[in-house]
Amino acid sequence: MKLKASLAVLAAAALSAGSAFALEPGDQAPGFTLTSVDGKKVSLSDYEGKTVVLEWVNFGCPFVQKHYQSGNMPELQEKYRDQGVVWLSIESGQEGADNFPSAEKLAEQAGEAKNRANAILRDPGGEVGKNYGAKTTPHMFVITKEGKIAYEGGIDDKPDTKQESIESATNYVSAALDSLMAGKEVETKKAAPYGCGVKY
């Protein structure tokens, strides 16, 4: 019961925090360069002219585990990568902190979760996360080919840790990507993020 109560508090806090956004849809996505878990420098500018998804992640978070253990997140990553979308998973935190894994540990966690992103990036110090206003894991951003924010917020409208709720959820990220690829206006451009707080 205590765990369920704690998760409910986390989700409620995240929803409350989502009332103010650092970035608004239509804003230019802040540029960045981070190092991937395999030691490569990755810049947002590397993907100029491509649609990009940024996914803030913490593989120890039960809200993240919901989407990985169910296969939902890896399936989305694979589906849209096959359609030319670039998917970047980012973990922000303080270097040396117990809750901020080393590159080796993060790579191991991503492998166990069957993460299929183009790259898994570490954001030591959390500068990139703060620039984007990333509040939770997962917190999702969809960036257009022109480098503008098309969507930001929660992955869907079910702020819980129940895998069974995924089937009935409205997936905002998927909807935004489908609209962009069809040349249509993104209907839902932002929604309250939910999950575990990013540990800045």
Task: Indicate the pLDDT class of residue 143, thresholds 50, 70 and 90.
Answer: very high
* CATH number, domain with residue 27: 3.40.30.10
Helix (H) or strand (E) holding 1: none
Instruction: State mean pLDDT over 73-78.
Output: 98
What percent of the chain is modeled with pLDDT above 70? 89
- Looking at the predicted structure, is the pLDDT value of residue 127 above 80? yes
- Alpha-carbon distances of 161 from 17, 95, 107, 137, rounded to whole Å: 18, 28, 23, 12
- Looking at the predicted structure, is the pLDDT value of residue 45 above 50? yes
Instruction: State mean pLDDT over 119-132.
Output: 97
**Interatomic CA distance for residues 57 and 88, integer angstroms:** 10
Note the pLDDT of residue 30.
97
The count of structural domains within the chain is 1
**Interatomic CA distance for residues 173 and 188, integer angstroms:** 9
Find the range with the poorest average confidence among 11-20, 27-36, 135-144, 146-155: 11-20
Tokens of 27: 């804003």
Instruction: State mean pLDDT over 46-55.
Output: 98
- Looking at the predicted structure, is the pLDDT value of residue 10 above 50? no
Instruction: State mean pLDDT over 64-82.
Output: 98
Instruction: State mean pLDDT over 6-14.
Output: 43
Note the pLDDT of residue 6.
44
Range of the domain at 70: 2-197
Task: Indicate the pLDDT class of residue 17, thresholds 50, 70 and 90.
Answer: very low
Note the pLDDT of residue 19.
36
Task: Indicate the pLDDT class of residue 9, thresholds 50, 70 and 90.
Answer: very low
Task: Indicate the pLDDT class of residue 5, thresholds 50, 70 and 90.
Answer: very low
Indicate the average pLDDT of the chain: 91
Note the pLDDT of residue 93.
96
Task: Indicate the pLDDT class of residue 13, thresholds 50, 70 and 90.
Answer: very low
Please check whether residue 122 is in contact with residue 106, taking contact to mean a CB–CB distance below 8 angstroms: yes
Query: Rounded to 5 degrees, what are φ and ψ at 28?
Result: -70, 130
